[in-house]
């Protein structure tokens, strides 16, 4: 079936924080309907909506208790059907979040298993503890603590939970589980959904021996990217979304490799269209530890981005391109200077990835330059992972202040603050106090103001149009240049007789570069400064400047590349 995800741009909606219409402080489905014209104006093709299914909300909806319903917190099934209808009118497709690795412990499957039903017991990984006090093995939960939790008080039995204790991992080795999950995907397909984002897809194939691990790296290998995952993703593909024309699927891949990325996304293998990988967002982790706070090295960031660009192209794989999502602090704070150069920083980050090979994702608020909030107490954070990490840091001996400083930079709530629509009460998000405290800068950073006087929204519109219209951006080859340069991420894209060259200056100084390619440049494709300082083979870049040029003579360029 024909595929056209290459020239699409997808917008992520964190529903809980997007737009509240009934005054309970929580974003809802009618809120998306209300804002569809805004999304249309931006120009995006599809919206990915974070989970809105019934859930005890221990992990903000990633703990699902019923896959085929709408949680009353977010609206009704009728609202969802209306959303499909209204979005369709504007030619916007929907992508739903499929959390198929685990269910909430309140899901009836788990409840039945807990009550001794043997059919459902086999839906989970339930194992005897090593002894009275020790779980089956030493694996760690990604949210801290043991990856096993007691099934009940009476027995020495545990269930596997790689995330929160209330998220029980499903046993994909059981064909009945796989069939049930396919029914879920089909249920939403039948409602007109064309896109699916598969949560933590590469950890569904646990090695069932459940041996102790020797270290955290080796531990991950026991349940990440195991060969059987590919078989099951192919099965899912074949039995569900292969049946819809123009479906778009993306797998969230925790700690994966380029080689695996190719296996997941090379179209011949019939798995998913693209993947999210996260290595580029770990460059400010100290020795791989998220809960630390260190500066990043541009060359490391660049090396990772280039490795994924070149590697995936070589194997005919495909990347999802993104800086932000609901699990990440805002990238503008990590990689730029939002105090002195907010527009430049935001547009630089956008340019860098939107002109790459892959499908760009925009996370809500990114298009108006939203930033991390400044909270003053740990109690203002809601996220379970942040609280677990805070407690752990305190146990490790950090002071309240030191621990809080780290949470501030890394908490997932940084990007989950309510969308800033206006400078009015509660930022126009809700008429009542929102579930998570609004960022205080909403009086200066908000949609209303951005549409009236801003430059960023408009810049995003241009980037989206370029992807829609220019084959060189959607389909071109990616060729990195200036690899060793310490201030600039630069590359070429080439498609038949079209080529572009892109420079992104990641520092807050003025900087000149010289390269033979500059002599071949023609018109400016896009840039975040009014004019360009270019002389012969020299280009002067200002703080956080991004600029792309058309190449005049592609033959000459290709000769120069040889
Ligand atoms: C994914 C989600 C994250 C969630 C986790 C467990 O990483 O993006 O929000 O906590 O999976 O479902
Ligand atoms: Ca609401």
Pairing relationship of beta strands 126-128 and 195-198 according to DSSP bridges: unpaired
Centre of ligand 1 from the C-alpha of residue 451, in Å: 32
Q: Is 142 in the pocket of ligand 1 (CB under 6 A)?
A: no
- Catalytic residue from among 97, 252, 271, 273: 252
- Catalytic residue from among 28, 45, 169, 199: 199
**Reduced to 3 states, what is the DSSP secondary structure of residue 338?**
coil
Dihedral angle over CA of 371, 374, 379, 381, nearest 10: 10
Position 41 scores a pLDDT of 98
Distances (CA, A) of 90 to 36, 84, 249, 302: 8, 10, 21, 37
Pairing relationship of beta strands 511-514 and 521-527 according to DSSP bridges: unpaired
Dihedral angle over CA of 213, 285, 321, 183, nearest 10: 40
Sole residue written with tokens 């009618």: 30
Q: Is 203 in the pocket of ligand 1 (CB under 6 A)?
A: no
Q: Judge whether 235 counts as a catalytic residue.
A: no
Q: Is 432 in the pocket of ligand 1 (CB under 6 A)?
A: no
- Ligand 1 nearest atom to the CA of residue 254, by list position: 7
Q: Is 163 in the pocket of ligand 1 (CB under 6 A)?
A: yes
- Ligand 1 nearest atom to the CA of residue 385, by list position: 10
Centre of ligand 2 from the C-alpha of residue 422, in Å: 17
pLDDT in tens, 196-229: 999 999 999 999 999 999 999 999 999 999 999 9
Nearest CA to ligand 1 atom 9: 327
Nearest ligand atom owner, CA of 386: 1
Which stretches does DSSP call E strand in 209-304? 248-252, 274-276
Centre of ligand 2 from the C-alpha of residue 106, in Å: 23
Burial class (CB in 10 A: 0-12, 13-18, 19+), 285: middle
Answering whether pTM is above 0.95, one says yes
Contacts of 562 (CB under 8 A, 6+ apart): none
Q: Is 52 in the pocket of ligand 1 (CB under 6 A)?
A: no
Dihedral angle over CA of 183, 188, 189, 193, nearest 10: -160
Q: Is 383 in the pocket of ligand 1 (CB under 6 A)?
A: no
Centre of ligand 2 from the C-alpha of residue 70, in Å: 13
Answer yes or no: are the C-beta atoms of 363 and 12 closer than 8 Å: yes
Contacts of 116 (CB under 8 A, 6+ apart): none
Nearest ligand atom owner, CA of 71: 2
Answer yes or no: are the C-beta atoms of 161 and 102 closer than 8 Å: yes
Answer yes or no: are the C-beta atoms of 403 and 390 closer than 8 Å: yes
Q: Is 59 in the pocket of ligand 1 (CB under 6 A)?
A: yes
Nearest CA to ligand 1 atom 7: 200
pLDDT in tens, 49-106: 999 999 999 999 999 999 999 999 999 999 999 999 999 999 999 999 999 999 999 9
Q: Judge whether 252 counts as a catalytic residue.
A: yes
Q: Which helix (H) or strand (E) holds 97?
A: strand 93-98
Tokens at 135, concatenated? 């779980």
Position 2 scores a pLDDT of 47
Centre of ligand 1 from the C-alpha of residue 59, in Å: 8
Answer yes or no: are the C-beta atoms of 244 and 268 closer than 8 Å: no
Q: Best of 15, 52, 62 to mutate for ligand 1, by most ligand atoms within 8 A of CB?
A: 62
Angstrom distance (rounded) from CA 64 to CA 86:
26
Q: Is 200 in the pocket of ligand 1 (CB under 6 A)?
A: yes
Give, for all 562 residues of the chain, the pLDDT tens digit.
446 899 999 999 999 999 999 999 999 999 999 999 999 999 999 999 999 999 999 999 999 999 999 999 999 999 999 999 999 999 999 999 999 999 999 999 999 999 999 999 999 999 999 988 899 999 999 998 999 999 998 899 999 999 999 999 999 999 999 999 999 999 999 999 999 999 999 999 999 999 999 999 999 999 999 999 999 999 999 999 999 989 999 999 989 999 999 999 999 999 999 999 999 999 999 998 999 989 999 999 999 999 999 999 999 999 999 999 999 999 999 999 999 999 999 999 999 999 999 999 999 999 999 999 999 999 999 999 999 999 999 999 999 999 999 999 999 999 999 999 999 999 999 999 999 999 999 999 999 999 999 999 999 999 999 999 999 999 999 999 999 999 999 999 999 999 999 999 999 999 999 999 999 999 999 999 999 999 989 999 999 999 999 999 999 999 998 7
Centre of ligand 1 from the C-alpha of residue 199, in Å: 6
Nearest ligand atom owner, CA of 79: 2
Dihedral angle over CA of 408, 413, 419, 420, nearest 10: -20
Q: Is 62 in the pocket of ligand 1 (CB under 6 A)?
A: yes
Nearest CA to ligand 1 atom 8: 327
Angstrom distance (rounded) from CA 546 to CA 526:
8
Answer yes or no: are the C-beta atoms of 101 and 199 closer than 8 Å: yes
Q: Is 199 in the pocket of ligand 1 (CB under 6 A)?
A: yes
Centre of ligand 1 from the C-alpha of residue 417, in Å: 17
Give φ, ψ of 506 to 5 degrees: -90, 15
Angstrom distance (rounded) from CA 215 to CA 138:
10
Cα R_g (the chain), whole angstroms? 24
Sole residue written with tokens 């909806």: 61
Answer yes or no: are the C-beta atoms of 425 and 448 closer than 8 Å: no
Strand ranges of the sheet holding 148-150, from the earlier edge strand across to the other edge: 126-128, 157-160, 148-150
Work out the angle between the directed axes of helices 258-265 and 227-239 (0-180°, nearest 10).
20
Position 3 scores a pLDDT of 63
Position 453 scores a pLDDT of 96
Closest CA to 86 of 30, 28, 45: 30
Nearest CA to ligand 1 atom 12: 62
Position 4 scores a pLDDT of 83
Tokens at 236, concatenated? 């899912």
Tokens at 104, concatenated? 């909430």
Pairing relationship of beta strands 248-252 and 477-481 according to DSSP bridges: unpaired
Centre of ligand 1 from the C-alpha of residue 52, in Å: 14
Distances (CA, A) of 275 to 267, 311, 351, 352: 13, 13, 20, 18
């Amino acid at each position: 079936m024909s595929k056209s995800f290459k020239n699409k741009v997808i917008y992520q909606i964190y529903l809980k924080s997007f737009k509240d219409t009934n005054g309970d402080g929580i974003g809802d489905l009618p809120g998306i309907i209300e804002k569809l014209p805004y999304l249309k104006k931006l120009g995006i093709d599809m919206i990915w909506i974070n989970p809105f299914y019934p859930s005890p909300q221990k992990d903000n909806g990633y703990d699902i208790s019923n896959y085929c319903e709408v949680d009353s917190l977010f609206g009704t099934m009728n609202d969802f059907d209306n959303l499909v209808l209204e979005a369709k009118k504007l030619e916007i497709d929907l992508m739903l979040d499929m959390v198929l690795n685990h269910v909430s412990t309140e899901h009836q499957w788990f409840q039945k298993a807990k009550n001794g039903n043997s059919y459902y017991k086999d839906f989970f990984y339930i194992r005897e503890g090593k002894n009275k006090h020790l779980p089956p093995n030493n694996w760690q939960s990604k949210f801290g603590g043991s990856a096993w939790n007691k099934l009940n008080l009476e027995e020495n039995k545990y269930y596997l939970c790689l995330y929160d204790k209330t998220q029980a991992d499903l046993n994909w080795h059981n064909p009945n589980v796989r069939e049930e999950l396919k029914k879920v995907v089909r249920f939403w397909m039948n409602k007109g959904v064309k896109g699916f984002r598969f949560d933590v897809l590469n950890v569904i194939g646990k090695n069932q021996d459940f041996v102790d691990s020797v270290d955290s790296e080796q531990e991950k290998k026991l349940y990440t990217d195991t060969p059987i995952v590919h078989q099951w993703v192919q099965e899912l593909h074949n039995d569900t979304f292969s049946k819809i024309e123009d479906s778009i699927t993306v797998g969230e891949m925790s700690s994966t490799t380029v080689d695996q990325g190719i296996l997941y996304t090379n179209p011949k293998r019939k798995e998913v269209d693209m993947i999210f990988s996260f290595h580029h967002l770990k460059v400010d982790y100290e020795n791989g530890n998220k809960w630390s706070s260190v500066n990043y090295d541009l060359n490391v960031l660049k090396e990772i981005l280039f490795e994924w660009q070149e590697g995936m192209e070589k194997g005919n794989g495909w990347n999802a391109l993104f800086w932000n999502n609901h699990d990440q602090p805002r990238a503008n704070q990590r990689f730029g200077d939002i105090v002195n150069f907010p527009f430049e920083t935001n547009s630089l980050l956008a340019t860098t990835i939107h002109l790459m090979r892959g499908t760009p994702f925009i996370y809500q608020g990114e298009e108006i330059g939203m930033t991390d909030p400044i909270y003053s107490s740990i109690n203002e954070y809601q996220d379970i992972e942040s609280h677990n990490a805070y407690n752990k840091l305190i146990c490790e001996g950090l002071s309240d202040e030191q621990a809080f400083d780290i949470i501030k930079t890394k908490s997932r709530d940084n990007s989950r603050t309510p969308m800033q629509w206006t400078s009015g009460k509660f930022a126009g998000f809700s008429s009542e106090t929102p579930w998570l405290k609004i960022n205080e800068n909403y009086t200066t950073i908000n949609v209303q103001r951005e549409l009236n006087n801003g430059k960023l929204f408009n810049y995003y519109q241009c980037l989206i149009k370029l992807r829609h219209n220019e084959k060189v951006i959607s389909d071109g080859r990616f060729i990195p240049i200036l690899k060793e340069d310490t201030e600039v991420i630069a590359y070429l894209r080439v498609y038949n007789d079209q080529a572009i060259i892109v420079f992104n200056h990641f520092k807050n100084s003025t900087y000149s570069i010289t390269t033979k390619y500059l002599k071949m440049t023609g018109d400016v494709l896009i840039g975040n400064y009014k004019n360009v300082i270019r002389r012969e083979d020299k280009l002067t870049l200002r703080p956080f400047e991004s600029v792309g040029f058309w190449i005049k003579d592609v033959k000459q360029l290709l000769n120069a590349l040889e």
